[in-house]
Amino acid sequence: MHYVIYTAAVWGLVYFLVGKRFVMLWKAALLGVLLMVTVDYFGTKYNLYLYPRGYIYIGRLPVMQIINVYASSLLFLNWLPTTWGKRMLYIIYISTIFLALEALMYSAGAIAFLNWKLSYSYFLNIAGLSTLAYLSDFILRREALDGNDV
């Protein structure tokens, strides 16, 4: 049930906060999903953590988790600053929020740590969001050049 509540909340935020910018951001947000699936593939394969309460799985990853990461990537990219100094502060801030959400999901039993600690996730979030910010520039710049900017 926790995945359903979380999914409804995060997509409600996307609807109200991202709105029409979805058209511009949807491709770049797929990069966030690609990064998460890659990291979680290895994390679950090597028994660092697992997702015990998913409903439908692709491999060892709950489909709802993948959908939630897509929505979270959209929200992250929606307010991504243009300069890297501001971006790093934003990434640290968002990583803290994601860590708090992960702690909530851990307490709800949605994720179980086997050979992992919650604090590791903070640094992994910073690295992942920094990579997403860097790679999304290529897609968003291309969209702006093509005139698909909203």
Output phi, psi for 51, to 5 deg.
Answer: -110, 95
Is pLDDT above 90 for 47?
A: yes
Q: Any idea where the domains of the chain sit in the sequence? A: 2-146
What are the C-alpha distances in Å from 133 to residues 82, 85, 125?
10, 12, 12
Residue (of 56, 61, 76, 94) closest to 13 by Cα position: 76
pLDDT digits (tens, 9 = 90+) for 111-147: 999 999 999 999 999 999 999 999 999 998 876 667 6
- How would residue 5 be classed by pLDDT, with cut points 50, 70 and 90? confident
Percent pLDDT > 70 in the chain is: 93
- Per residue in 96-106, pLDDT (tens digit) is 999 999 999 99
Mean pLDDT for the chain overall: 92
Residue type at 51? Y
Query: Cβ atoms within 10 A of the Cβ of 81, count?
Result: 13
